[in-house]
Amino acid sequence: MNLIITDNYNELSKKSAELIKEQIIHKPNTVLGLATGSSPIGTYKELIRMHKEEGLDFSKVITFNLDEYYGLSPENEQSYHYFMYNNFFKYVNIKPENIHIPDGKTKNVAKFCSKYENDIAEYGGIDIQLLGIGENGHIGFNEPDSALDVPTHLTNLTKNTIEVNARFFKSINEVPKKAVTMGLGTIMRSKQIILIANGDKKADIIGKMINNNVVTTNIPASFLFLHRNVAVIVDKEAAGNLKQQIA
């Protein structure tokens, strides 16, 4: 695990966008795994800048998003479909047919999830996956539990995740209680992973995840210790509880 501590969020976003850019230049038809939420907004802004100013080309890039709230349609302003179009896709030259986001309105969840897995496999797997981390250690919506699902699945969101994500909704009652998410196996099969965390609200979980040096289903992100090619990029605030830097 390669731990990178940056001075601020701007620098973090530039580093993470730089890794994605290198991958796209190396392989124009890169399969990109994407996250939503507050953490990647700066990365998307930087990738948009790279597209506009440096000609970074997304025309062959394929994307798969980590997750979507169950029950929300793409038109819903709180959906992750809406987030992705409005924070990233509409500003770059990505082809609509190359975009994949879990369907929050699917009638047949099991069929949808297995097709999502097959689609990823047919493109040769995810080349680079961008991840945020929940304050409880979730990645995607793989919440802390006694056992973690391997493939894409429908999951119950924890009380903590519902409370934390209520900031994006008019009231906490509007936050969906379930989501369709890539599983730990889907994420771990990505060839390269970038996890980004910023701000002091992430200091506790980043400290717990990294200081203890153990893998535990109580902190789903700790499974990243088992992956060969992970960059954890944190700003100074999120690094506030780290005891040591890891190699």
Binding site for ligand F6R (CB under 6 A): 35-39, 66-67, 132-134, 138-141
Nearest CB to ligand F6R, comparing residues 38 and 86: 38
- Judged by DSSP in three states, 143 sits in coil
Q: Where are the alpha helices (DSSP H) in the chain?
A: 9-26, 41-54, 80-87, 109-122, 159-165, 184-188, 203-211
Backbone φ and ψ of 235, nearest 5°: -85, 175
Q: How far is the CB of 54 from ligand F6R (least distance, A)?
A: 26
Return the residue nearest ligand F6R (CB atom).
132
Q: How far is the CB of 125 from ligand F6R (least distance, A)?
A: 19
Nearest CB to ligand F6R, comparing residues 23 and 186: 186
**b or e along 158-180 (b: 16 or more beta carbons within 10 Å of the residue's beta carbon)?**
beebbebbeeeeeeeeebbeebb
Q: How far is the CB of 36 from ligand F6R (least distance, A)?
A: 4
The catalytic site residues sit at 67, 136, 138, 143
Please return the burial class of 245, using the count of CB atoms within 10 Å of its CB with bins 0-12, 13-18 and 19+: exposed
Q: How far is the CB of 105 from ligand F6R (least distance, A)?
A: 17
Paired tokens of 168: 């994006």
Paired tokens of 56: 């970074």
Nearest CB to ligand F6R, comparing residues 3 and 182: 182
User: Residue for token digits 């969906």?
Assistant: 176
Paired tokens of 99: 């975009």
Nearest CB to ligand F6R, comparing residues 165 and 192: 165
